[in-house]
Structure 1
Amino acid sequence: MGGRKVTTALKPKLWNRDFVAVCFSSFFLFMTFYILAVTLPVYVTDQLHGSQQQVGLMMTAFIVTTVILRPLTGKWLDERSPKRILLLALILFTVCAAAYMVVHSYSALLLLRLIHGISFGMAATATGAIAVGLIPEQRSGEGVGYFSLFMSLAMVVGPFLGLTIIEHQSHTVLFSVCICLGLLSLISGSFVRIPVKAAKAKTAQSAEAGWKKLIEPKALPISIAACFLSFSYGAITTFLSVYANSIGLGSYSSYFFMVFAAMIVLSRPFTGSWFDRYGPNLLVYPGVLLFTLGMLTLSLAGSPVVFLLSGAVLGLGFGALLPSFQTIAIQASPAHRRGLATGTYFLLFDSGYGIGSYVLGVVAAHSNYHRMYFVAGLVVACSAVLYYGLHHRKQQANKRGAELAA
């Protein structure tokens, strides 16, 4: 990971039918997730006449079952056929998307969200683990970066499409689009061919007891740092449009996400290759600094220029941090437990996202959104301290030990 470079001529092929298929399967999966994330609160309040508390419970129900299924799916992926698990999850996900058509009460919607969270937790973990397995080891940083790019694009296209539909069309059209996206995710996933691993992949499963059957311990340190990142990231996806309206910039909300995504897209070809050539430290510390500065700038926003500038800075920081943390979690874990490592990473990332959305919402309720984003920036800064204590310092100690042994 040091200063060693991998020449282009020796680079194994990254882009092939299987990697492209799993990337698109993930893209359509997350498109559906983000469309529903921004439109169901409106559906609950306008169509089902629910309260804000019921909106929060509906979103929490989805996150809870997603978080529970993450580690379970990681374990299943390492023990069973990943392709079957992926297809089963995507079939259930698509059936749930269709079920929104026939749900006309809050209690039925709440039950549906619980089941939909199960299917999403399984499918998102499966696509992530399968993608990692298809990426050549020498291009892991670059490959994970491009895979997460598809998720980042879904984060922008999904809300924009969802809000546009409910503004000009009915909820029937909205749910029909979700069904189509679920089918596209299923079709894309069915095209993925997963290489048959060596027989030792399954026999190498260690006889771990207790929680280690569901959690990969070596992925925990970096996943804790990622939890702090997602804690603050939740404030962007959950409260940005409300915050923008409160400062008279509501019409710029969609542009914020476009700028945010554009910076991720523009930086991704560089960040992935830099990770593989020079290691994660070159990306993580600047990434934390940029994300922190972006949050602080957002907390002070009062004009369109400052508002959109904060989106650009946040996009650069997030684009460097998300794939770096995920790649570190994968590389730190044994090859036969990478499914568990993926599940462990997203277990903490999703948990941080859900907790952050709630806690920062309480901060905003007792103060204002300016202070909320300021606090979110301070929390992100803490992830640099955690990264150094949980990963970087250990990396340095291992390097010194290897030098002494030599």
Structure 2
Amino acid sequence: MSKEALWTKGFISIWISNFFLFLTFYYLLVSLPIYAINHLHGHQASAGLIVTIFLISAIVIRPFAGNFMQKIGKKPIFIVALVLFLIGTLLYFLPQSVGGLLLVRAFHGIGFGIATTATGTIVADLIPNSRRGEGMGYYSMSMNLAMVIGPFLGLMAINSWGVQLLFIIASICALLSLGTGIAIRLPKQENRQVHAHAKQKHTFKWSNIFEPSALSISFVAALFGIAYSSILSFVSVYANAKGLASVSGYFFVVYAVLMLMARPFTGRWFDRYGANIIIYPCIVLFAVGMFILSGMHTAGLFLVAAGLIGIGYGTLFPSFQTIAIQSAEPQRRGLATATFLSLFDSGIGIGSFLVGFIGDKIGFSSLYFYTSIYILLGLVVYYFMYGKKVKQNVGELAEKKVG
């Protein structure tokens, strides 16, 4: 029996649109703090708010975005979000102060929060049920590649090409995200679901803002997001302190390469054997990578740690997101995606603050060592929050397949 098609026109379109969306995000993430300090004469503390206020806007709007999609439809909300995101990108040409830049960031975060909620929901509708884990894994590659390419381009632009070209490139990327987003065609049942939802009388309920079935796995993802924030925010600082500034830029390159090599296998195993057979080993790999990072003194060990973290954490994120979406009814996937991303981003935001505070007190070597222990404790949390609910009888699965 042949597999259901995964790489359809719709899937490719949402993949490309999501790639340029996150490329713009990461591109500006590394360049705007430098722009604020060097060109707008801001302080480091105020420049740090550039990331925080953006994430706050995205987190606050996401639960409402899920509800909007149920009432109006996924694609209309997605296109509106991408238009807002493009307008926000164009507005970066205007501010003459850090305060003005923060206002633009707040507006830009709204478009980003709605758009990322919509992409995660739309792609779930486009992926065949039989290839959900594999498809979500490939879809998350768009974010991972953007995470590697975006910072490289952003630093190149702000340091070598000038501010005007910096914002022109960002605007072009946002426009490409909108253009490919418009080309997406959703399954026909989308209109019927929206029409049925519109007929219902609505009163305020928390279940209209958050998806209850996705809360437990989203909480688990947030806990691991706290650990990952130590990599996202401070691994380059740590490498510089260890005298490895020349290779610090290769961390996310190795991370992405190993993650991409593992993705075809991990996605298929997820679909065939279930979540636990993927998640437990990947938590261990994530912890081992952190442990090696805590004690490394050479470029080789630094990059080995990057590879293990890439396979471990790089597989955990799409796996958790897949579970969150699968746990919800099809018409509530928007709320499930919003719930997942809101809690996950909250973990990243809280973690960035805690990690910076703790790292300053005990040093980053100790921080990464204790983080590896924290990640292993996450095995227990995952087991009680979700893992024990999954019946993983591989023998029965094999018999069923043969039959």
TM-score (norm 2): 0.93
| Partner Cα distance (2:389, 2:341) in 1 | 22
2:63 paired residue number: 71
Q: What secondary structure, in the 3-state scheme, does the structure 1 residue paired with 2:185 have? A: coil
| Residues 1-400 of structure 1 aligned to structure 2 (within 5 Å) | 9-197=1-189, 201-202=193-194, 203=196, 209-396=204-391
Asked if structure 2 preserves the Cα contact closer than 8 Å seen for 1:289 and 1:317, the reply is yes
Give 1:269 deviation, angstroms.
Answer: 0.6
The percentage of aligned residue pairs carrying the same residue is 43
Give 1:339 deviation, angstroms.
Answer: 0.7
Give 1:211 deviation, angstroms.
Answer: 1.3
| Partner Cα distance (2:333, 2:190) in 1 | 15
1:403 paired residue number: none
| Partner Cα distance (2:171, 2:111) in 1 | 14
Give 1:255 deviation, angstroms.
Answer: 1.0
| Partner Cα distance (1:60, 1:126) in 2 | 22
Give 1:148 deviation, angstroms.
Answer: 0.4
Q: What secondary structure, in the 3-state scheme, does the structure 2 residue paired with 1:34 have? A: helix
| Partner Cα distance (1:355, 1:378) in 2 | 19
Give 1:75 deviation, angstroms.
Answer: 1.4
Give 1:182 deviation, angstroms.
Answer: 0.3
Distance 1:68 1:311, change over 3 A: same
Asked if structure 2 preserves the Cα contact closer than 8 Å seen for 1:228 and 1:379, the reply is no
| Partner Cα distance (2:134, 2:354) in 1 | 34
Distance 1:166 1:390, change over 3 A: same
Give 1:167 deviation, angstroms.
Answer: 2.4
Distance 1:41 1:268, change over 3 A: same
| Partner Cα distance (1:368, 1:38) in 2 | 23
| Partner Cα distance (2:242, 2:138) in 1 | 35
1:236 partner letter: I
Asked if structure 1 preserves the Cα contact closer than 8 Å seen for 2:276 and 2:392, the reply is no
Distance 1:208 1:145, change over 3 A: farther
Query: For each residue in 1:89-137, what CA deviation from the matched residue of structure 2 results, as whole angstroms up to 9, or x when unmatched?
Result: 1111111111111212011001111001101001111111101111111
Give 1:376 deviation, angstroms.
Answer: 2.7
Q: What secondary structure, in the 3-state scheme, does the structure 2 residue paired with 1:54 have? A: helix
Q: What secondary structure, in the 3-state scheme, does the structure 1 residue paired with 2:4 have? A: coil
Asked if structure 1 preserves the Cα contact closer than 8 Å seen for 2:35 and 2:158, the reply is no
Give 1:383 deviation, angstroms.
Answer: 2.4
| Partner Cα distance (2:84, 2:244) in 1 | 39
| Partner Cα distance (2:245, 2:25) in 1 | 23
| Partner Cα distance (2:180, 2:372) in 1 | 37
Unpaired segments of 5 or more residues in structure 2?
395-403
Give 1:308 deviation, angstroms.
Answer: 0.6
| Partner Cα distance (2:377, 2:2) in 1 | 38
Unpaired segments of 5 or more residues in structure 1?
1-8, 400-406
| Partner Cα distance (2:162, 2:239) in 1 | 25
Asked if structure 1 preserves the Cα contact closer than 8 Å seen for 2:54 and 2:106, the reply is yes
Distance 1:227 1:398, change over 3 A: farther
TM-score (norm 1): 0.93
1:77 partner letter: M
Q: Number of matched residues? A: 391
The 10-residue stretch of structure 1 (366-375 or 254-263) with the greater mean CA deviation from structure 2? 366-375
Give 1:367 deviation, angstroms.
Answer: 2.0
C-alpha root-mean-square deviation of aligned residues, in Å? 1.9
| Partner Cα distance (2:368, 2:104) in 1 | 32
1:36 partner letter: L
The 10-residue stretch of structure 1 (201-210 or 177-186) with the greater mean CA deviation from structure 2? 201-210
